[in-house]
Copies of this chain bind each other. A is one copy, B any other.
Amino acid sequence: MSAKKQINLSNCIRAIPDFPKAGILFRDITTLLNDKAAFKQSIDSLADEFKTKKIDFVVAAEARGFIFGAALAYKLKAGFVPVRKKGKLPHKTFEATYDLEYGKDSLTIHQDAFKPGANILIVDDLLATGGTVKAASELVKKLDGNIVGICFLIELVELQGRDKLKDYPVFSLIKY
């Protein structure tokens, strides 16, 4: 227990109506990132949840996932493995596709990103329908990684993204 005052992180997220299109209430994390105490508390709280789990690598998808993933890897003294859009990683990759509202997109991971059995934490800024992180988890399994947990800054509970990830422990700091 720390005596330090904890920030209510949900107060640091800005809601932007009709972005990127009409009817969507966008959760803008940049106001949390701008707040050095809130950003630090976010990373420390996520790290605290997994500090006993011997995380070897943090895996995160571009672009916003890199923000939380890299800081968390640094804090946990783990390696960082970027998952990127097709064509961005320069070496041999595995690929996983996921559904968009219209059509599909795909993510890739380097085939030599880590050894089989490595303890993996997957991180993203926001859990909505779960498609991106589900694809990232499939990539980790192609490399025989041991997914110890999946964590998010924000979870949009009513979109039920957790249902896609029920094989793994899921943790989020802010729920809407």
Contact = CB atoms under 8 A, between A and B. Distances in A.
B110 A30 contact: yes
A77 interface: yes
Contacts of A62: 62-63, 66
A7 interface: no
Given A19-B90, A63-B66, A66-B67, A34 B77 contact: no
A169 B89 CA distance: 31
Interface residues of A, number: 43
A27 to B, nearest CB: 9
Interface in A19-77: 19-20, 26, 28, 30, 33-36, 39-40, 43, 56-57, 62-64, 66-71, 73-75, 77
A82 B14 CA distance: 15
A81 B36 CA distance: 10
A36 B90 contact: no
Contacts of A30: 81-82, 89-91, 110, 113
Given A36-B73, A70-B71, 16 more contacts: A20-B87, A20-B90, A28-B90, A28-B91, A30-B90, A33-B79, A33-B80, A33-B82, A34-B81, A39-B74, A62-B63, A62-B66, A63-B84, A66-B70, A71-B74, A74-B75
